[in-house]
Amino acid sequence: MKLKFLITSLTSCSGCVSSLISLDFFSQFLEKTELCYFPFLEDNQLIDDQDYDIALIEGCVSTDSQIEFLKKIRKNSKKIIALGTCAAFGGILSLSKERFAIPLQDVVEINGIIPGCPPPTKLFGNCLIKLLERKEIELPKKNLCDGCPNKTDFILSKETIINKIIPDNKDLFEEGENCFLKKGVLCLGPITRQGCDYECIKAGMPCEGCMGPVSKDITSNIINFLSLANVSKDLKKYKGLYYRFSKPKIWRS
Ligand code: SF4
Ligand code: SF4
């Protein structure tokens, strides 16, 4: 029997759902599932007595009505999967001073996450295959540095001055040492889960941490990590370093 899916968005840019639709695998996904609720593609309604096998939910919770909506979905769904960084960790809206941005798991119990902003193609496809096979999603357990094309034997220390979040041309085209940290550019690879296939790194941008932490809370990991290096005063003052994709749980309640 086909799995019954609900796919919906809370506060989001719709980038995760757009990425889903853009996957080569999406046509097969449609054939193998029963899409009971997917307002992005179909004009259908959430029906109170409809049961779903899997709810794929994009976006963070940022309004009271979304809390009620999410609780309703929880009641009717066997599994809830947080789709993307906003749903899994709170996401980019965490930078807002006006709105709250909380991950799904702060409101209801969830059964897995597909991280990334938006989730990277290969990982996304593999996660969907696992769901269709009725198996648990498996995420990489190593950090991004492990296997990074820019990795060298450089070790972060207090002698490393980090004063940039965006590399300049010299950083990108200089021969020799390639690790962004060595060049003084903040890269969150050491504390970020791998699985993105180094798309940003290969494009000349350091890791901003959208895949989430390998373990524990993003912000506390960033604070511990930055304490290992000599981070410039200006950079330390930039709050976006700490709350770009998540606020610490204690501040969300
Ligand atoms: S995780 Fe990124 S792509 Fe997905 S909804 Fe949030 S901001 Fe958009
Ligand atoms: S810090 Fe960044 S550039 Fe350096 S090895 Fe890790 S992921 Fe690669």
User: Does residue 16's CB lie within 6 angstroms of at least one atom of ligand 1?
Assistant: yes
Q: What tokens appear for 38 in the block? A: 């997917």
Global confidence as pTM? 0.92
CATH architecture of the domain 3-132 equals: 3-Layer(aba) Sandwich (3.40)
Ligand 2, pocket residues at CB < 6 Å:
144-145, 148, 150-151, 179-181, 187, 189-190, 201, 206-207
Q: Which ligand ends up closest to the CA of 103? A: 1
Domain ranges in the chain?
Answer: 3-132, 161-252
- Position of tokens 């609720």? 37
Give the pLDDT band (50/70/90) at residue 152: confident
197's CB contacts (< 8 A; 6+ apart) are 120, 122, 123
pLDDT tens digits, one per residue of 192-231 = 999 999 999 999 999 999 999 988 777 788 888 888 889 9
The H-or-E segment that residue 3 falls in is strand 3-9
Q: What is the mean pLDDT of the chain?
A: 91
For residue 92, report the distance from its CA to the centre of ligand 2, in Å.
22
Better-predicted residue by pLDDT, 175 or 49: 49
| C-alpha 117 to ligand 2 mean position (Å) | 18
| Gyration radius (Cα) of the chain, Å | 19
H-assigned helices in 113-198: 121-132, 169-173
